[in-house]
Amino acid sequence: MNAMVRLLRKLAALLRRQSFDQDLQEEMAFHREQVAKEFEAGGIAPEAARYAAIRQFGNATLLQERSREVVAFRAETVAQDLRFAVRQLLRSPGFAVTAILVLALGIGASTAIFGFVDAVLIQPLPYANPNQLVSVDESETLLPRSNLSRDDYEDWKRLNSTLTSLDVYGGTGFLLRTGSLSEPTPAARVSDGFFRTLGVAPMLGRDFRSGEDRPGQPKIAILSYGTWMKRFGGRRDLIGESISLTGEAYTVVGVLPRNFAFAPRASAELWVPLLDKTGCEKRRSCHNLDGVGRLRNGVTVEAASADMKTIAAQLALQYPGSNKGQSASIVPLSEIVVGKLRPTLVTLLAGAGLLLLIACVNVASLVLVRAESRRRETAVRGALGATPSRLVRQFVTEGLLLASLGCAAGAVLAVVIMSLLARLVPKPMAQGMPFLAVVGLNRHTALFAAGSTLMAALLLAATPALRLAFREIHEGLTDGGKGAASRFWRRLGANLVVVELTVAVVLLAGAGLLAKSFYLLLHVETGIDPSHLATVYIMAPESVYGKPEQQVALYHQILEKVSAFPGVQSAGITSYLPLQCNCDTDWIRIPGRPFHGEHNEVLQRDVSPQYLPALKAKLVRGRMFTAADDASHPQVTILNQSMARKYFPGEDPLGKMIGDGDLTPKSMRQVVGVIEDVREGGLDDEAWPAEYFSIYHAPDNSFAVAARTTQDEKQILPVLLKTLREINPNLGVYGENTMNEQMSASQSALLHRFSTWLVGGFAVLALMLGVVGLYGVVAYSVSQRTREIGVRMALGAQRGAIQRLVLKEAGWLTGMGIIAGLICSVATAHLMRSLLFNVHPWDFSTLLAVAAVLGFSALLASLIPARRASSVNPVKALSAE
């Protein structure tokens, strides 16, 4: 109760501050008058009595202050400090602007990066209870996570006891006919409960009902929001209407919410139920789906994993032909969605954090120099009665003010950086990152910015405050201040610079290693010549090109047209373009070798005879395919070197036979050639064994065309599209691109590019801040030593010797920074080695280059004060006070 009343009274006093002050002043004046009267009565002259009374009471303002502190809030003195701090900043705008900009840079950059970290790693996936969702897949020795087969899925779903639901999704594509146009449309096939498992309901229409994914059920589809808007104008009466997908009628039953995104199938515009088993799904060994399950309450991922592994082991006994060696892989769904981004993001956040650190240290040393030049002011305030705590509070207030201004500017910067970075992500990749949409200023990022501001403020306040405390102690105890502690604080500025340079070295080294990785990644041996290569995907409608003869005829037609193009050297057709993924595999068996049902997994590519020469793949032995390798001749195959080495070690593979697991006569093929590895998977994936077949043996209506050009391959793309559509307007033609583009836009290249540029940017800023900090410290030290330099020169020191004196000091600081930095960078590089590609964390040339860059910049920065020192006029220096 009492506290409450007191608080109210205090509030009243605060509101009536003016009248409170007046009352107090009048009251005290009255008191003094009375005392003066007393003195007068004692026989002292009126004027003298008045002064005597004033003297007796001492500092009236201080007295008033004390009374006021009893009633008033501390906030009031805080406001005073704040006003004073603002005045201080306004008096030296150069310092203020520099400090605020540097802080804004640090806070802005780290907040922006944190915005991404938050969106990707901290904020939950946009599904109901997302931490119960797991990704359910199979695993085998070669592939720790491989697709789930439809038969296995059905058994797992039936037999498991740890999931409340298990559903599957798989990719597919349709030619969607709208008006007269047929457009290839990426889609997904899902089991009936897929959306219910995620906890997502359509915004319009209905979800798939239980049982609607069984073979023979009617064809229905759910649209993504974007597709509904873009292709159907957002018509609400579309529900119940039928649309034409690759010539078949599907009824639209629902539209997904606008914010729905499912990263593993990000580009899917249409969602259809599984329905009939595809040709491949009739086999239990056809791994073409992925599972997503919801854990029962209280069940851990590990328990679910153990459950599925037990089931997988049972199935392996039951169906050894297809399931031998197949186990289960259960991981949180978030791991599949964002797992690959984690190391990059953590590295970037660490880089931004270091930049923030260096920015704070930089500003702290600026503040320190200013505190030094404000010694007189501090002394005067102390003499006038300011308590030490009040003096320290002034520094804390100034630190807070600087940091808050920096934070405000940093927040603006962060928003700009975030939108810039989000825009830099290429669209196809951004589709797979629905979380990019939530990057921005929100509660988490605001908290982070506030936290870093507070830290910066503390650092800015602590440096001069500690300095103040230590100086007082040592001045009280010794006169010279030769103690280690005092020297440490006297050299605090210099020590801070060493920290700055150390951090700069770490960032530079990190950036250097990432840049080298990036370079090596882009120049990795691909086995092809990626320049002057234009590529395009084609999907031919089943209705016109359903039969193998029709498909082969289409291939010939396309190749003829494209090859006849002016500027096109050669053209080929393939089932999959290189540098995409280590997918579309086949199990092989070599006759005459011991075989126990193991899965010898190799990549399988169907190509036209001109395809490999068009890529400039290098033939090692044997021959390439010819036009004669068609369905009327026995099947032959070309191996890559990895495959030749793995399956025919120390043998000549030419002429050897290869078959499927059961050595079915139809599957048998003879090896006719060996080529150097063509990188089929991503740039940083390992090279897999691969087998090439003639596409005329197993044609398909979905394929890709690659054309080698003599001129700029980019210019040929539009003409290529036009020509292909002229062959048949119903051909779905999409994904036109150049091979170089594909390489530099691939996910691995993009992640590397992002981290290289960002960490590189941080490093350049850090280098600048560190070098400017060094300049500041050396220049300050020169200004402090002007007298000493004057004496030295008067005693005959040469200008060169003076320059060396200054350079030696700078060199000492730089050297310590470089050595400490190099040690730290080997350690940090070790932490980010998952991001490095073919580069050791201790890569000597990078570290050497970093040391050289920093050393050279430091030398440049210290030359200016060194020259100034050597041009000191000894007469002036000595006569100056």
Partner 1 sequence: MANRAELMPGTLDMLILKTLTRAPLHGYGVAQSIKRVSDDVLTVEEGSLYPALQRLLLQGWVKAEWKKTETNRRARYYTLTAAGRKQLGTEISNFQKMIAAIGQVLEDPQEAV
* Local structure of 321: helix, strand or coil: helix
Q: Does residue 58 belong to the site contacting partner 1 (CB under 8 A)?
A: yes
Q: What is the closest distance, in whole angstroms, from the C-beta atom of residue 66 to partner 1 in the complex?
A: 5
Can you read off the two tokens belonging to residue 785? Answer: 């030593």
Q: Are strands 148-149 and 287-295 parallel, antiparallel or unpaired?
A: antiparallel
Which C-beta is closer to partner 1: that of 58 or that of 428? 58
Under rule CB under 8 A, residue 9 binds partner 1: yes
CA distance 458 to 452: 10
Pick 58 or 546: Cβ nearer partner 1 = 58
**Residue of 14, 21, 24, 586 interacting with partner 1 (CB under 8 A):** 24
Q: Does 16 bind partner 1 (CB under 8 A)?
A: no
Residue 69 or 377 having the CB closest to partner 1 = 69
Stretch that binds partner 1, among 61-69, 101-109, 762-770, 793-801 (CB under 8 A): 61-69
Q: What is the dihedral of CA 807, 811, 812, 814, to 10 degrees?
A: 140
| Radius of gyration of the chain, Cα coordinates, nearest whole angstrom | 38
The H-or-E segment that residue 387 falls in is: none
Backbone angles phi, psi at 458, to 5 degrees: -60, -45
* Options 14, 17, 21, 28; binder of partner 1; rule CB under 8 A: 28
Pick 31 or 236: Cβ nearer partner 1 = 31
Cβ atoms of 685 and 582 closer than 8 Å: yes
Q: What 8-state DSSP symbol labels residue 835? A: G
Shortest gap between Cβ of 765 and partner 1 (angstroms)? 52
Structure tokens at 673: 């050639």
Q: Which residues contact 558 (CB under 8 A, 6 or more apart)?
A: 538, 573, 705, 724, 727
The only residue of 35, 299, 791, 797 in contact with partner 1, by rule CB under 8 A: 35
Q: Mask: binding to partner 1, 62-81, rule CB under 8 A, as x and -?
A: xxx-xxxxxx----------
Cβ proximity to partner 1, 46 vs 124, nearer residue? 46
Nearer to partner 1, 5 or 90 (CB): 5
Please, what is the minimum distance in Å from the beta carbon of residue 92 to partner 1?
A: 36
Give the residue with the Cβ less far from partner 1, 34 or 626. 34
Of 26 and 652, the one with the shorter C-beta distance to partner 1 is 26
How many Å is the maximal CA-CA distance in the chain?
A: 138
Of 11, 15, 27, 144, the one binding partner 1 by CB under 8 A: 27
Check binding of 14 to partner 1 (CB under 8 A): no
If phi over 0 gives left and psi between -120 and 50 gives alpha, with beta otherwise, what is residue 179?
left
Nearest distance from C-beta of residue 28 to partner 1, angstroms: 6
Contact between 10 and partner 1 per CB under 8 A: yes
- Min. distance of Cβ 4 from partner 1 in angstroms? 12
Rounded-to-integer distance, Cα 683 and Cα 344, Å? 16
Give min distance, CB of 24 to partner 1, in A: 7
**Is residue 577 within 8 Å of 611, Cβ to Cβ?**
no
Nearest approach in angstroms of CB 12 to partner 1 is 10
Residue 65 or 584: the one with the smaller Cβ distance to partner 1 is 65
Q: Rounded to whole angstroms, how far apart are CA atoms 344 and 183?
A: 36
Nearest to 368 by CA among 476, 469, 468, 457: 468
Q: Give whichever of 38 and 241 is closer to partner 1, judged by the CB atom.
A: 38
Minimal distance, residue 30 CB to partner 1, in Å? 5
Give dist(CA 238, CA 182) in Å, integer: 19
Q: Which residues, in sequence order, are CB contacts of 768 under 8 Å at separation 6+?
A: none
One residue of 15, 23, 79, 300 binding partner 1 per CB under 8 A? 23
In the numeric block, which tokens belong to residue 154? 């059905």
Q: How far apart are CA 532 and CA 713, in angstroms?
A: 5
- Of 20-28, 197-205, 211-219, 810-818, the segment contacting partner 1 by CB under 8 A is 20-28
Applying the rule CB under 8 A, the residues between 113 and 152 that interact with partner 1 are none
Under rule CB under 8 A, residue 425 binds partner 1: no
Q: How many residues bind partner 1 (CB under 8 A)?
A: 28
Among the listed ranges 33-41, 429-437, 624-632, 699-707, the one in contact with partner 1 (CB under 8 A) is 33-41
| Length of the chain measured in residues | 881
CB of 393 to partner 1, least distance (A): 20
Residue 23 or 248: the one with the smaller Cβ distance to partner 1 is 23
User: What tokens does 418 get?
Assistant: 């975030």
Segment lying near partner 1 (by CB under 8 A), choices 27-35, 162-170, 413-421, 723-731: 27-35
Q: How far is the CB of 2 from partner 1 (least distance, A)?
A: 8
Pick from 124, 121, 125, 147: which is nearest to 136 by CA? 147
From 11, 16, 19, 26, residue interacting with partner 1 (rule: CB under 8 A): 26
Please identify, using beta-carbon distances, which residue of 21 and 183 lies nearer to partner 1: 21
Q: Which of 11, 15, 19, 30 binds partner 1 (CB under 8 A)?
A: 30
Q: Identify which of 834, 853, 833 has the alpha carbon closest to the alpha carbon of residue 843.
A: 833
Least distance in angstroms from the C-beta of 10 to partner 1: 7
CA dist 713 and 708 (Å) reads 8
Residues ≥6 apart with Cβ < 8 Å to 269:
176, 185, 186, 187, 223, 224, 226, 227, 231
* Cβ proximity to partner 1, 53 vs 166, nearer residue: 53
Cα–Cα distance measured from residue 100 to residue 767, given in angstroms and rounded to the nearest whole number: 18
CB of 121 to partner 1, least distance (A): 52
Name which of 30 and 488 has its Cβ closer to partner 1. 30
Q: Binding string to partner 1 for residues 708 to 747, with x set by CB under 8 A, is what?
A: ----------------------------------------
Please identify, among the stretches 5-13, 85-93, 120-128, 586-594, the one whose residues bind partner 1 according to the rule CB under 8 A.
5-13
Nearest CB to partner 1, comparing residues 35 and 82: 35
| Residue among 19, 34, 259, 664 that touches partner 1 (CB under 8 A) | 34
709 in Cβ contact with 716 (< 8 Å) = yes
**Helix/strand/coil (H, E, C) string of 639-671?**
EEHHHHHHHCCCCCCCCCEEECCCCCHHHCEEE
Residue 184 identity (one-letter amino acid): P
Residue (18 or 297) nearer to partner 1, CB: 18
Going 101 to 104 to 105 to 106, the CA torsion angle's sign is positive
- In whole angstroms, give the CA distance from residue 475 to residue 382: 15
What lies within 8 Å, CB to CB, of 294 at 6+ separation is: 129, 132, 133, 134, 163, 164, 165, 197
Distance of alpha carbon 538 from alpha carbon 545, whole angstroms:
12
Residue 586, beta-bridge partner list: 602
Which residue number, 35 or 313, has a Cβ lying nearer to partner 1? 35
Q: How far is the CB of 397 from partner 1 (least distance, A)?
A: 24
Least gap, CB of 392 to partner 1 (angstroms): 23
Number of neighbouring beta carbons within 10 Å of residue 611: 27
Give the shortest CB-792-to-partner 1 separation in angstroms: 53
Q: With CB under 8 A as the contact rule, which of the stretches 59-67, 610-618, 624-632, 686-694 interacts with partner 1?
A: 59-67
For residue 433, the SS3 value is coil
Residues forming beta bridges with residue 585, ordered by sequence position = 603
17 in contact with partner 1 (CB under 8 A): no
Residue 384 CB, nearest distance to partner 1 (Å)? 15
Residues that bind partner 1 (CB under 8 A): 2, 5-6, 9-10, 23-24, 26-28, 30-35, 56-58, 62-64, 66-71
